[in-house]
Chain A
């Protein structure tokens, strides 16, 4: 952001002037030592020298989860199937037939025999409003931009509230004809309130929406007539904790406050005509405070109203965590630019960059408080209190240079060189040299092509460059002993080795070769961009698999070589028919990843082997459902003594036994291709735009026992999805798609990592649709405005996917099925310009 590393989450979109993405190594070369995977450049708005301008932008949004699993909400079925599942697992059943019948026979008694839909109860529509006010202006000497932003985002679950306050002041001033100075100051405050189990993005809490059974309600009338929270259905169900999100909400809250200040100043000194010295200094100060406050809440069993326990309190009392991070950046370049004979354009740049980060953390916990209202540590008892704290730091330092030359904008050349050092690598190997170069040829500028006046641009591009990556944790090479302790007579400090390190670690180097073609016909009536690239990564930073008998954790080493070969296509069409102006663009990207060499292959659920994509799925192949006992008896020996209705696997090596030797490589670790498109239409004062996006061929593995809530039946009691209930195996010949009902610990299902758990996460979705209307200028003037725009916008309005239940896009980012849902957003926005 403005040349300094930043985080998108901190950005007020209204402050953004422009965003550009640099993918090839040559163009990314001067943007730092961490650009191996490309750079996104964000420029914030600055004031203009044409007088004062005031803008106000407000949006009002309503948000819903895009897709949610449809879970079984019929209690009698839920209980019946759980009993069946437990019987298959050889576990005691939890419900008597009389209990099940009571639910079955009283469908209209939601108080005593509920069929409760927890997903519907917990997930609701969120409302958000967002305000942005900016004042900018200036004269020829000095410009400024001052803006304030306020975001109040509600959650799709209760007790979630996010507020963000942004402030940006930027000033640029031409002090003299040889000196320009400027700077900006961003300030931000964020406040988040959420439930005590919220964690990151509420994922854990969403799990709780998928967890409880339909056969009880959030609260109940107790035998003494009062109202209490339900723990779960009955005492016979083994559980760690309450299965009731409403009780969790009642247990307290977690509040997070974040303040950050990002001052940066720069000076540009014109040393001579065409020679500029530019220096920028920036600091990024972050302060975070998290307070977790939990108190006991009495919870009861639904079936008899007896007291269960005081809630699912994991960490009773108050846990405070304070951390600060201080990142400083110094960036200085000397740039010489000159055009010779109006044909030779030369631009030479030399620069220096350094960044250093210091993080520190302090945390304290007290458990016992006299009342539930007291939330500060001092109010609690010191019994069993604990404290912790740590700090860490890293730094990088770089020297770089670049030469650009072009001849009549027809032949373009660029070469650059970086020399990067990092604190993360041993002094002997911490410096790396990374060269890059590129060339372009605008054929359309050639005299022999000038005749073809329909061809506005035809350019061939080629680039080659190397960049380094050192993203390996803060202290990957230091041979250190971890501190620990042991209770002899008293607790004594101890040290012990816990990890292996590789002191010869060096930069991971990515070499990107890119060939591109840009064609534009009739000023964009049709345009085409094609890129072919090969990213070759040498010295992959890789935590090699080691024998557990070493007794230490594996070191990160430069483990091998990998390549990504890909194509990007972008096709555009821009035209005007009468008063309708429109443009259409479609894009398609595809790449193939391949490990070229690896010093120690890894085998497991995923595998790293030469010739295969990195971390390819490595699973036993699921080939159907056992329909009868004879099929089991006559086939290869399966683990865990399956029954009819269980998963049938392929004996890949034909040895008559299904075991780890039958794992095969399965595709799906990477999408086959990504695609998207956009349409923009402008008619008079009305504009419409839409944007679609999709991926194809990505598969998510969803067999993790405790991540499967909402997908795997009866993960700690979670109801099975309706799709499974309706289509499950119920007897010989019924289906080969789903097995018989099971519960999560049933080993013939969940004991073997197989392709049964791979879910196709391909999707195509309408990412955004926007309709805007600009008030005619004359009319706006009458209102005393320079401009007024009203728009309606919708995000994620429509999705085509085979992914079961939840959102494929969001789910593919994390490992958990029950992650915070992707949101469908409906927004009304108004922009006013004074």
Chain B
């Protein structure tokens, strides 16, 4: 008995002594499905994972189809109850509006922080100088895209080029010029270091950076520089118009497509989007009559003067891009197996129109299991040609190269060339309309009407179904307000004028 007791006592003391010793292991628990950042950056494979991590930030508003919100804002689309942007598009823009007022801001900065984290660490990784430069070029291209998106919508924003602490982030915004200067610096680095090859695998190439820089310069009305840059792409010969305007926007035509210069990419089932559900089923994108009317007739004349125009059937004798962009609400379609497919939209169209562009008829009939993998195009060659035409016309007036660029875009869809001998102003209107119909529903138009300052005259003329007249106050609506939550937490941030 006593012996037994002694053993037990020894055992007990042993346990008590041992337990603190074993503490260290027992309490060391680390995430099992995440990677510790301290030990990262060991080799090229990890560096390439970090690059993929930066690109993955594109899979967020506004670098995806974003319900065509920007086309709604620009007045080419009106939305139904599925689309919460309509209130904002009607001029109810407040710091507390939520929606795109905060998502553009939040998601661009999520992207920027990922870029800055990458750029801050990549030099630790043992990789060749060429690889390092290319990676840095890609990431700086993406950072430029994020900052340019911010500058377009908010003007000047807080500018960080390396990872920030919470307190370090609380700064006054830099001016729009400073932000754009950073964008140009990043793009110049990208242009110098990215491979001069076609865009094939989702990685940004030199052409992507040149094209984005041309767009930035166009926004800054630096016409001559923009024209030169666009011309550099044209002369470079790495990109060309794709022959099929319809499949340019469908997965089936997008692989190695010579026209696409940069895009947000999908691959089902792992990385899938919902554009078919949102556009083709929920009927959340209702093109407006004004957009339909902007398409010329097949003879190259506007509907107001073309003898081909049939007021009883808007579909007849029109620019072929119209029916590859827009359909009537009840119009049936033909899928790739030749079957005629009807629609069971989840709403009716407020305008009687529904989108065709980007909609895959092979996904019909749809339910919530439908996965989409159309890449969302952020930059394409037709845009570059039209940017060239616009910049060149603004810089030095009409010349043969301007006509050549715009007519090339028209010729792809068998539209006749625009008439010779237009004045600079007449040509400007033709180029603007060409951008509108060529790039319709691609989210480009909002940026265009902001830089042209035409929003203030056009948008107040619009009445949405239900009778609400849109409002656009030029004193403030050319910029979005900073989200109230950001103003609440960063005292140095000055709200944009008028909000």
| Chain A, Cβ-Cβ closest to B270 | A491
- Report if A352-B486 is in contact (Cβ < 8 Å); known contacts: A313-B367, A494-B53: no
Known: A384-B268, A395-B27, A399-B19. A310 touches B347 (CB 8 A): no
Given contacts A487-B202, A545-B489, contact A240 B369 (CB under 8 A): no
> Is A391 positioned at the interface, with any CB of B under 8 Å from its CB?
yes
* From A87, A312, A494, A547, contact of B169 by CB (8 A): A547
Contacts of B20 in A (CB 8 A): 399
Chain A residues 409-430 with CB under 8 Å of chain B are 421-423, 427, 430
A603, CB-defined interface residue at 8 Å: yes
Write the nearest CB–CB distance from B273 to chain A, whole angstroms: 10
Which of A485, A545, A752 is the one whose CB lies under 8 Å from B96? A752
B97 CB within 8 Å of chain A: yes
Q: In the complex, what residues of A have CB within 8 A of residue B23's CB?
A: 397, 421
The reply to whether the CB of A784 lies closer than 8 angstroms to some CB of chain B is no
A466 touches B (CB below 8 Å): no
Whether, in the assembled complex, B420 has its beta carbon less than 8 Å from a beta carbon of chain A, the answer is: no
Contact assessment for A334 and B12 in the assembled complex, using a CB-CB cutoff below 8 Å: yes
**Within the assembled complex, what's the spacing in Å between the Cα atoms of A183 and B114?**
54
| A71 vs chain B, min Cβ distance (A) | 20
- One of A271, A395, A547 near B490 (C-beta < 8 A): A547
State the CA gap A315–B368 with chains docked (Å): 7
- Chain B residue with the shortest CB-CB distance to A314: B368
B111 CB within 8 Å of chain A = yes
B368 engages A747 (CB within 8 Å): no
Enumerate chain A residues within 8 angstroms of B28, measured Cβ to Cβ.
423, 427
Partner of A486, one of B12, B92, B265: B265
A486 touches B109 (CB 8 A): no
Interface contact A238-B96, CB-CB below 8 Å? no
B234–chain A nearest beta-carbon distance, Å: 27
Tell which of B114, B170, B201 touches A547, judged by Cβ atoms closer than 8 Å: B170
Q: Which of B57, B97, B269, B468 contacts A751 (CB 8 A)?
A: B97
Is A577 interfacial (CB 8 A cutoff)?
Answer: no
Chain A residues near B344 (CB-CB < 8 A):
235, 307-309
Is B452 interfacial (CB-CB < 8 Å)?
Answer: no
Task: Return chain A residues, CB-CB under 8 Å to B371.
Answer: 384
B475 contacts partner chain A, Cβ-Cβ < 8 Å: no
A337 CB–B CB distance under 8 Å: no
Please tell me if A544 contacts chain B, counting CB pairs below 8 Å: yes
Stretch at the interface among B77-85, B216-224, B240-248: B77-85
Q: Mark B248-287, 1 if CB is under 8 A from A, else 0.
A: 0000000000000000011111110000000000110000
Contact indicator B109/A480 (Cβ below 8 Å): no
CB-CB < 8 A to A493: which residues of B? 49, 52
Which residue of B is nearest A240, CB measured?
B346
Given A395-B29, A422-B27, A544-B166, A497:B37 Cβ within 8 A: yes
B465 located at the interface, meaning its Cβ lies under 8 Å from any Cβ of chain A in the complex: yes
Q: Is the CB of A480 within 8 A of B52?
A: no
Q: 1/0 per position for A179-223, CB-CB distance to B under 8 A?
A: 000000000000000000000000000000000000000000000
A755 within 8 A of B: no
A474 to B271 Cα, complex, angstroms = 28
Is A542 an interface residue when CB atoms closer than 8 A count as contact?
no
User: Quick check: B26 and A356 within 8 Å, CB to CB?
Assistant: yes
Contact with B along A721-754 (1 / 0, CB 8 A): 0000000000000000000000001010001110
Find the B residue at minimum CB distance from A316. Answer: B369
Which chain B residues in 12-36 approach chain A with CB under 8 Å?
Answer: 12, 15-16, 19-20, 23-24, 26-36
Q: Is there an interface contact between B466 and A91, defined as CB atoms closer than 8 Å?
A: yes
Question: In the docked arrangement, what's the CA distance between A93 and B466, Å?
Answer: 7
Contact of A316 among B55, B92, B368, B484 (CB under 8 A): B368
Q: Does A236 contact B (CB under 8 A)?
A: yes
Q: Provide 30 A-B residue pairs closer than 8 Å at the C-beta atoms, listed in order of the A residue.
A: A92-B80, A178-B1, A178-B5, A235-B344, A271-B8, A309-B346, A309-B365, A312-B368, A314-B368, A334-B12, A384-B269, A395-B29, A423-B29, A474-B31, A475-B30, A478-B31, A481-B36, A483-B35, A484-B53, A486-B202, A491-B271, A494-B52, A495-B53, A496-B56, A496-B114, A546-B489, A550-B164, A551-B116, A554-B166, A751-B92
